Structure 1
Amino acid sequence: MTYNAQTGASQLVADLAADIKDKVILITGPSPGSIGAAFAEAVAAGQPALIILATRNPSKVEPVSQSIASAHPSVKVRTLELDLGSLEKVRRATDDVNSWADVPVIDVVVNNAGIMAVPFELSPEGVESQFATNHLGHFLFVNLIMAKILAARAPRVVIVASDAHRLQSIRFGGVNFDDGKVYNKWLAYGQSKTANMLTALALANKLGKRGLLAFSLHPGVILTHLADHLDAQKEFADLHALEVTQGNREAKDEMKFKTPDQGAATSVYAAFYPGLKDHNGAYLQDCQVADPWTQCVRPWGTDPVEAEMLWKLTEELAGQEFSY
């Protein structure tokens, strides 16, 4: 079966139902109207054993829980309070997950939550907020529940990155943009998305021998609430100007939008498609392994040396080592 940019999550779930059935799936950031919600609602049709909705505000995802319960009453749904912007709160959430005796195994984790192009702010631990929320919080969360992930028969970790990684490699000498003095919201977003790609690659390299598959992906451009805080006309004009300054050929491309169902499709593909076993650590786009030339894959997002460097930096920022 060949999938592409027009493929929807619902189509993939129908095709991959046997690979979804009876699994325990955790997704971060499944707020209503998001691609995370589209993913959760689509995957429920595959009859997983449990869907865990991890969110900063549990009451906010109640409509998603109700939607799943209404359409698929046999599928269990559990909500987890998870604030990725605070390492203390991430640890609190992982303590909760690890205490669930009735959930000994988590088959699939989809790191979907994120923020985009926000004003400069530091996390409670003093890390630039986009890097902290999109990367650091997810890194710590996944590694602290890794025992339950590795207990699965065919564990997968999926990380929603973005083709915006083309904007910025990892600033190993200053992820905080000199404490905001040289901060650019789009470069900071790009850095966090590069970090997502490198984390998936590092997980594959470190834990592939123990059966873990890890992938990052670009979901496409989808109209969700992620950009509600932006003055779209001004901010995307600034983004275009930045692309021109950097010499990115993507600056000439017309922005093509996807529906939420199409936007969630590559996450479903990454989480369940059986044909990806020979591509561990890959970056995916449009339900396929992304092509570096035609689908905007920068080498700094796929370099194993940079992946290992980022792992060590992130351990330092998290104050905890994970030696696999």
Structure 2
Amino acid sequence: MAPSFSFHTTSDEVAAAFADEIKGKNVLIIGTSVGGIGFETARAIAVKSPNLVIITGHNPERLKIAEETLRKEAPSANVRPLRLDLSSLEHVRKAAAELNAMPEPLHVVIHNAVAIPGPFKLTEDNLEAQAVTNHIAPFLLTKLLAPKILAARTAEYTPRVIFVSASGHAFCKGVNLRQLEKPEPASHESLDALFQSKCMNILSAIELSKRSKGRINSYSLHPGVIDTNLMRKGDVPAGLKKLELTDAEGRPNEKLHPWKTIPEGAATTIAAAFDPSLNDKPGAYLDDCVIANDKIAPHASDPATAEQLWAVTERIIGESFTF
């Protein structure tokens, strides 16, 4: 029988349901600081006998803490840390080279990292910081790792690329492709930039699945509204109040919007990564661990927009994505 999931399903429950799928897999998880859903995703996967769990972070000290904590939680797991700074395309290429030098193929890549919403800021590549961390760098990394991802493909298994999006994608009017390619301070609003990047995550999953022609299955998802470290940084607290997700004192507004725990929040990521019932549903969007394509806003599922976003992103990184 197919497992039954709900709003309150936890990461351990999903990992237990798909333990046979997790066993022996090599999994790369981007953004795994302790206290976030990426770390919880790594922990729940690591205790179910994968072959390899690669965790990443841009801060060496926090990455070390994540590694040590994960080893305590899953002593028998094969955990490998990798420093990855998504704000720099040069560093993404360096990290990709390190990953490509590893002998193992990649069965699952999970893009979980997110930039803290804040004032307009250009990266060293003259690109808007949130767009780089949340979309451009994950796109480039996936492109560079494509051969290693494809190497995991067999007659019985199709590798997966997961994009952690958010229901907030519906709060913007769509992706401003001109702003993505030629960012201007006057056109920047921090939360809108975040919501646009979440649209890009959904569009990327749809287009990657389409262009790979069955060789890679990609999915996006809404993890839920969760009290992680991110919720107390940058422009997030003010944005949560504006959206009435928190009350005047900054506490979760459970009466209007139910919040998830971190284990509940990581559950949908694990379902997207390992649920075998998704095999014939590439490009799907998940919520509460199940397909929820009806919850995608029209501007985040338009095929023409997905194609345009792909082309613009290729132009930005100066490379064509080939399979």
User: How do 1:274-285 residues align onto structure 2 when only pairs under 5 Å count?
Assistant: 274-285=276-287
Contact 2:128 2:183 in 1 (8 A): no
Supply the AA of the counterpart residue of 1:132.
Answer: V
**Aligned alpha-carbon RMSD (Å):** 2.0
Instruction: Say if 1:14 and 1:119 are closer, same or farther in 2 by CA, change over 3 A.
Output: same
Instruction: State the shift of 1:68 in Å.
Output: 2.9
- Per the alignment, residue 108 of structure 2 pairs with 108
Supply the AA of the counterpart residue of 2:128.
Answer: E
| Aligned-partner Cα distance in 1 for 2:290–2:133 | 27
Contact 1:116 1:227 in 2 (8 A): no
Supply the AA of the counterpart residue of 1:171.
Answer: N
Instruction: State the shift of 1:4 in Å.
Output: 1.6
Instruction: Say if 1:24 and 1:178 are closer, same or farther in 2 by CA, change over 3 A.
Output: closer
User: How do 1:119-130 residues align onto structure 2 when only pairs under 5 Å count?
Assistant: 119-130=119-130
Gapped regions of structure 1 (runs ≥ 5)? 242-252
Are 2:177 and 1:172 equivalent residues in the alignment?
yes
Instruction: State the shift of 1:291 in Å.
Output: 4.7
User: How do 1:55-74 residues align onto structure 2 when only pairs under 5 Å count?
Assistant: 55-74=57-76
Instruction: State the shift of 1:276 in Å.
Output: 0.5
Contact 1:31 1:64 in 2 (8 A): yes
Q: Write the deviation string for residues 49-76 of structure 1: whole angstroms up to 9, x where unpaired.
A: 1100011123313233223322332211
Contact 1:58 1:80 in 2 (8 A): no
- Per the alignment, residue 273 of structure 2 pairs with 271
Moved more, 125-134 or 261-270: 125-134
Give the length in aligned residue pairs: 308
Instruction: State the shift of 1:177 in Å.
Output: 8.3
Contact 2:221 2:287 in 1 (8 A): yes
Supply the AA of the counterpart residue of 2:152.
Answer: A
| Aligned-partner Cα distance in 2 for 1:134–1:216 | 13
Give 3-state SS (helix, strand or coil) of 1:284's partner.
strand
Specify which of 285, 288, 291 is matched with residue 286 of structure 1: 288
| Aligned-partner Cα distance in 1 for 2:73–2:195 | 37
Instruction: State the shift of 1:322 in Å.
Output: 1.2
Moved more, 164-173 or 261-270: 164-173
Are 2:12 and 1:41 equivalent residues in the alignment?
no
- Per the alignment, residue 245 of structure 1 pairs with none
| Aligned-partner Cα distance in 1 for 2:162–2:183 | 31
Instruction: Say if 1:188 and 1:176 are closer, same or farther in 2 by CA, change over 3 A.
Output: farther
Instruction: Say if 1:308 and 1:45 are closer, same or farther in 2 by CA, change over 3 A.
Output: same
Q: Write the deviation string for residues 256-285 of structure 1: whole angstroms up to 9, x where unpaired.
A: 111110000000000000000121001111
- Per the alignment, residue 149 of structure 1 pairs with 149
TM-score, normalization by structure 2: 0.90
Instruction: State the shift of 1:323 in Å.
Output: 3.3
Give 3-state SS (helix, strand or coil) of 1:145's partner.
helix
Give 3-state SS (helix, strand or coil) of 2:280's partner.
helix
Instruction: Say if 1:291 and 1:94 are closer, same or farther in 2 by CA, change over 3 A.
Output: closer
- Per the alignment, residue 254 of structure 1 pairs with 256
Are 2:233 and 1:234 equivalent residues in the alignment?
no
Identity %: 36
- Per the alignment, residue 206 of structure 2 pairs with 201
Instruction: Say if 1:49 and 1:179 are closer, same or farther in 2 by CA, change over 3 A.
Output: same
Instruction: State the shift of 1:240 in Å.
Output: 5.2
Moved more, 262-271 or 124-133: 124-133
Contact 2:218 2:283 in 1 (8 A): yes
- Per the alignment, residue 251 of structure 2 pairs with none
Instruction: Say if 1:277 and 1:122 are closer, same or farther in 2 by CA, change over 3 A.
Output: same
Give 3-state SS (helix, strand or coil) of 2:239's partner.
helix
Instruction: State the shift of 1:164 in Å.
Output: 1.1
Gapped regions of structure 2 (runs ≥ 5)? 246-254
Instruction: Say if 1:232 and 1:87 are closer, same or farther in 2 by CA, change over 3 A.
Output: closer
Give 3-state SS (helix, strand or coil) of 1:84's partner.
coil
Instruction: State the shift of 1:16 in Å.
Output: 0.8
* Displaced runs of 4 or more, over 6 A: none
Contact 2:284 2:293 in 1 (8 A): no
Are 2:213 and 1:213 equivalent residues in the alignment?
no
Instruction: State the shift of 1:115 in Å.
Output: 1.5
TM-score, normalization by structure 1: 0.90
Contact 2:285 2:293 in 1 (8 A): no
Are 2:79 and 1:80 equivalent residues in the alignment?
no
